[in-house]
Chain A
């Protein structure tokens, strides 16, 4: 420090005790930490950079890893039927003084019917154990009154929810991805209310609930977006479906019901409707399917819209194999030629399921 200092500068120097801190050497500690931390930061940044480099820009467009659906099916004792048709005389409308009373009676009846069917197959415990998380997939595709037969009956849904809880289920999730507005569908079909009153959790399709699902089928060769969130914790899956006509594929029952889990643009599958429906036999192995044949939509499917299209009937069909249940319903309830329904044949030909057989089928009547 050869240069001359001004008066003020000199005073400053004195105040500091004669040492100019600006000229003191850097302490070794400080040098080491600063250089060390700096180098580490540069190194880390470079490391992160290298780790996420994507020279072809392909990582950014990679879809998340596909999920797969578990096999939810249960094996029944060979002596038990795998398909049970329960019949009961429908309650007479005029015998009740309020719609609520009639509804309660119908719900009571649905509960008895489903329970007796399961009894035939070895009891509810065969299907639902303590601690199970059950996903129930009704068909609430349309914003319609349940009497029009285009959607699952609320009483059947609540009956099944109650049965699950009675058997010790921890949680029951009711979910569907309808065609019409989800809130109004669950509201108008009364399925939402019935399920919630029975204690189930409703899951409406939010866009974040969809994930790519690996199917590996004939029409969905690898993956398709699916309403997967409910299945994350599921241990059992039950499908509850109406029995109805469909213009393009001829019948909507249990197998077609899984269509409601697909994400958009699912409309494209109409270009190969039978292929996609038969793929469901590969995609989904349900614990149980229930075809509610008490109200049959015979014409103008799948939306219906007129009571004239609905036929009152008396059967609920419960089974472990959706193809067998559909096959039974088509010929015995919908009065159609069994081989009109190409997707059933397709699924059977592909070895994914089997047709119904008298020896595995039992028909019972309850009161």
Chain B
């Protein structure tokens, strides 16, 4: 079994590296290069929470989740490339004897941290639930009243929601508040009445709520209430969807983290050493930070084996939660077992196979079965429930605190205004990106787009897009430019943060004529630095390289009196903001290198109406004509 596992590990890591290497304009030929990202269940679950949909190939994550619910966390030791790297690194750095190995592989309390991380991240992703629930009663009433009005049109008498629910809503509300407060206090251990008091108190509160509900429903009519509740909840969720969640799982999701580290740090370093990866060397903004974090996690294996997987990985935590349903697991025969603890020698997951197995921690590596000298361990179908620790060992108070942290972190991060009022001129997103708020709910910072970008223009952001936007892609035109006939980033983005585009749509030709080209920003001149403007020197490189037709940069011939009194004929460049698509090649090619005389900023990008610049583009007359016709 262990041999088969090793073969799978080699296969998975090999496939991952192969996909990574061919994510390049030269070799990318319809390969499913984002497969590992799409297969991460955490990506699927978290984006489903933020976007309420499953994008394109993310169902793969649900398949892996299904496998986990059958076999346990096989993903972690058979498929996850980061896990396999940890496995390798741990083996390389291992200088322990059997006894030390057994000790180091015992379960520790810190391994629960990953669940708190997961809780915080999920709370950020699911924050919309809070306003949705908060506003739900109002929306339900609204839905009910509308339906009542419609019924009145057919001859019924109008009874509004507040008429029928007046009394009962008070009862429900007070009951809920009391019950919630009671639950919170108990969870925090502040208010702990004896066993005897617990039942009557919660029973009484529940009774009030049920009674209130009953009165209301009877007065309003069962079918009417049901449809109003469904409708109202839907409306409330829809209304709170925007601006009320952020996706941060990518910071620690193992696949996103690995792809990001490889892209912005490992591969460029390999290239620097060998000149063998890219045709032109790549440079990435603060790549060393990403690289150090990556290396740090790998080296941590020498001190605590599989430290990342055991203590940090939120994907592992998610799989740990779902593994509780799994039908197969490792089971110990207590009669055969001599308590020698040898099964701990190479236990990857620190799942305590020598006692009752901690199912949520087990990576199903089968090492323990191999190591047991008495054949006391087996991988069995439906073993005794009594011999397992099903759920993760969690401290409820910490879990709540983690959730509260997640809930508080997001509004704090958003308060800077970076998404709305105070958005940054440098946050120039690649073409096809969805509007910023939606972007932050989709982008997992995997930097797959950065990997595939042929010109190096895409860069991992530091804090340009706020703390939420750490390592999300932005275009830095000094590093490269957005190639006119290229939509590669949109093809590899696993989550739809960059929607899949066709060239025709990007350029606004053919069926997309009316909608116009996709703009990522607008170029501006700094006439104090531009050679023909400030220094009486010919130039207009920017005009030459401008790729649109007709060119967004045009020139005017001027005759100027030069310093010595002679006349000089010059071409001076101007921007036509209607034609400019913000590709940045003018900025990249401008000979005034350090602070280019022409530069692109985010204003005028078409992904968000609130960021448009020109009236003519917002109120497109041709569109108006179409609408009138």
**Nearest Cβ on chain A to B536's Cβ, whole angstroms:** 10
Is A305 in contact with B539, judged by CB distance below 8 angstroms? Answer: no
Chain B residue with Cβ nearest A204: B279
Which one of B25, B549, B550, B555 contacts A184 once the chains associate, using CB atoms below 8 Å?
B25
Cα–Cα distance between A183 and B455 once the two chains are bound (Å): 10
Residues of A within 8 A of B540 (CB): 247-248, 270
- Say if the beta carbon of A359 comes within 8 Å of chain B: no
Is B544 in contact with A184, judged by CB distance below 8 angstroms? Answer: no
Chain A residue with Cβ nearest B571: A248
Which one of B275, B539, B551 contacts A270 once the chains associate, using CB atoms below 8 Å?
B539
Chain A residue with Cβ nearest B555: A247
Which one of A145, A181, A206, A268 contacts B25 once the chains associate, using CB atoms below 8 Å?
A181
Cα–Cα distance between A206 and B539 once the two chains are bound (Å): 26
Which one of A182, A183, A303 contacts B546 once the chains associate, using CB atoms below 8 Å?
A303
Cα–Cα distance between A306 and B454 once the two chains are bound (Å): 24
Chain A residue with Cβ nearest B535: A271
Binding site secondary structure of chain A: loop
Interface residues of B in 569-597 (CB under 8 A from A): 571, 585, 589-591, 593
Cα–Cα distance between A143 and B25 once the two chains are bound (Å): 13
Is B549 in contact with A303, judged by CB distance below 8 angstroms? Answer: yes
Is A267 in contact with B551, judged by CB distance below 8 angstroms? Answer: no
Chain B residue with Cβ nearest A304: B549
As a 0/1 sequence over residues 13 to 51 of chain A, the CB contacts with chain B under 8 angstroms (1 = contact) are 000000000000000000000000000000000000000
Is B275 in contact with A206, judged by CB distance below 8 angstroms? Answer: yes
Residues of A within 8 A of B550 (CB): 300, 305-306
- Say if the beta carbon of B450 comes within 8 Å of chain A: no
Known contacts A271-B537, A272-B538; decide if A309 and B279 are in contact (CB<8 Å). Answer: no
Residues of B within 8 A of A273 (CB): 538
Is B279 in contact with A184, judged by CB distance below 8 angstroms? Answer: no
Is B551 in contact with A179, judged by CB distance below 8 angstroms? Answer: no
Chain B residue with Cβ nearest A247: B543
- Say if the beta carbon of A246 comes within 8 Å of chain B: yes
Binding site secondary structure of chain B: loop
**Nearest Cβ on chain A to B271's Cβ, whole angstroms:** 11
Cα–Cα distance between A98 and B555 once the two chains are bound (Å): 41
Mark the stretch among B32-40, B478-486, B607-615 that contacts chain A: B478-486
Residues of B within 8 A of A142 (CB): 547
Is B547 in contact with A303, judged by CB distance below 8 angstroms? Answer: yes
**Nearest Cβ on chain A to B539's Cβ, whole angstroms:** 5
Cα–Cα distance between A267 and B530 once the two chains are bound (Å): 13
Residues of B within 8 A of A143 (CB): 483-486, 547
Is B548 in contact with A248, judged by CB distance below 8 angstroms? Answer: no
As a 0/1 sequence over residues 243 to 272 of chain A, the CB contacts with chain B under 8 angstroms (1 = contact) are 000111000000000000000010110111
Residues of B within 8 A of A338 (CB): none
As a 0/1 sequence over residues 464 to 505 of chain B, the CB contacts with chain A under 8 angstroms (1 = contact) are 000000000000000000011110000000000000000000
Chain A residue with Cβ nearest B538: A271
Is B25 in contact with A305, judged by CB distance below 8 angstroms? Answer: no
Known contacts A207-B281, A303-B551; decide if A247 and B544 are in contact (CB<8 Å). Answer: yes
Is A305 in contact with B538, judged by CB distance below 8 angstroms? Answer: no
- Say if the beta carbon of A236 comes within 8 Å of chain B: no
**Nearest Cβ on chain B to A132's Cβ, whole angstroms:** 27
Residues of B within 8 A of A267 (CB): 541, 589-591
Chain A residue with Cβ nearest B456: A181
Is B538 in contact with A184, judged by CB distance below 8 angstroms? Answer: no
- Say if the beta carbon of B26 comes within 8 Å of chain A: yes
Which one of B25, B539, B541, B591 contacts A187 once the chains associate, using CB atoms below 8 Å?
B25
As a 0/1 sequence over residues 327 to 339 of chain A, the CB contacts with chain B under 8 angstroms (1 = contact) are 0000000000000
Is A303 in contact with B591, judged by CB distance below 8 angstroms? Answer: no
- Say if the beta carbon of B531 comes within 8 Å of chain A: yes
**Nearest Cβ on chain B to A73's Cβ, whole angstroms:** 30
**Nearest Cβ on chain A to B458's Cβ, whole angstroms:** 12
- Say if the beta carbon of A119 comes within 8 Å of chain B: no
Is A309 in contact with B280, judged by CB distance below 8 angstroms? Answer: no
Which one of A182, A188, A270, A300 contacts B485 once the chains associate, using CB atoms below 8 Å?
A188
Q: CB within 8 Å of B: which residues of A?
A: 142-145, 179-184, 187-188, 204-208, 246-248, 265, 267-268, 270-273, 300, 302-306, 309
By Cβ-Cβ distance, the 7 closest A-B pairs, closest first, are A305-B549, A306-B549, A267-B591, A181-B454, A267-B541, A183-B25, A181-B455
Please name 13 further chain A to chain B contacts, defined as beta carbons within 8 Å, in addition to the given A179-B589, A300-B549, A300-B551, sorted by A numbering: A180-B483, A181-B455, A182-B279, A204-B279, A207-B281, A208-B275, A247-B555, A270-B540, A270-B541, A271-B539, A271-B591, A302-B544, A305-B484
